[in-house]
Structure 1
Amino acid sequence: MKLFALLLLLTLAIVGVNDRALAQSQPVKDAAGVARNGEANKPAAEKPSLNPNDARTAAQLFEDADKYLEKKFAEFENRHMPFDARLSDKIKQEQRDLAASYATLLAARQLEGQDVYYLGLLYNLARNFDAALETMRRFLAENPKATGEPAQNARAIIVIQAAKKGLLEEAGSRLAEYAKDQPQLAEDRYTLENWVGVGYFKIKRRRRGSSSATQS
């Protein structure tokens, strides 16, 4: 699995490490160059179809979706194919669609333990953040003694999504749990603290606005 910092970057919808590495090693080509190789003119890829008989574990499904970008970018590099922002966006959308497809497959199973955690990661990768929040809440509720990377990643997702919704008591509580456990990286903890801080700032700003409107 990727480092915790990279998971957090994905949660924040920041460009991943593999994408940046490709951009550095493969100069960006213009759209005409891509079109000459047929990639830019291809119709949008169809969403992956579900195979209800797919027997892979939750961890295997997440790993396949998580590594999708890395595999595709490596393929482009090996074939010396031109690459631009539009193609990058297309591949990222394919990854999100794949993650959503796997999440649907997993959600139909009777899940427990870390399988619930991987379902939450798939929802997060698919940018279905509401489902990711609910699933990580379920994972921690069903596994109150969970520690280590799964618990920390679950808490990070909850902190960010709860803060975005203004659920600052929940966000602060999970942040406190995160601060007491390992592994954790300083930049990740700072980012989580910033999300909660911004949430409180927005509430104060709204209150000041309401107070000013009442006085006027």
Structure 2
Amino acid sequence: MPLYKTITPNSQTTVKIWKITESYEELMARVDLKPKALERVLGMKSELHQRGFLSVRWLLKEFGYCDADLFYDDFGKPHLKDGRQISISHSFNFSAVIISDLIVGIDVEKQRDKISVIAHKFIDYEFDYLDKTSNDYIKKLTVIWCVKESLYKLYCTQGLSFKAHCLVIPFSIKDKATIAWVDYKNIKSRYAIEFLEFEGFTCAYAIA
């Protein structure tokens, strides 16, 4: 399938989302992988993960890049050789990439009821305003997870905790935006967050 969605939050930043309808074979046939990336994808046990990995390389092509332009640091954070900032995510049959001149983070997740089982692991302050009986409880949990994951990718500091150091202020699903904070080692950083929903998925991205 062609590119699913393109978003331009500002003049320096672009988000692209891909809906993965292609088979593993179709995706492999049209990407040029460097040896390390090829070894990595061939070593994946799940075809779902393989397709997610390869769809990200298709998204890179949409931005005008190729796999050789991408590398990862020791923390696992992706970088582009030209110095622009990049963040990557994929979940089931969607993948997302954000590229900017600013520091960024992105996450896409499928909305699933089982997130309520692990909510206590990544939520603290947010329980004060969440209503477990509301129809949008699972959606809000998913937004909060995506926001905190995007902040984690943006901040890229070992020891950062979703629950202890990241907080998301009250928000409405229809607003498609919120404010989040990282409070880590006596430094407080404020981030404007945007999020969207599509086909049972949530995507959030943070821009520094």
Shared fold, TM over 0.5: no
Q: Higher Cα Rg: structure 1 or 2?
A: 1
Give the TM-score normalised by the residue count of structure 2: 0.26
Give the TM-score normalised by the residue count of structure 1: 0.25
Instruction: Give the strand-richer structure, 1 or 2.
Output: 2
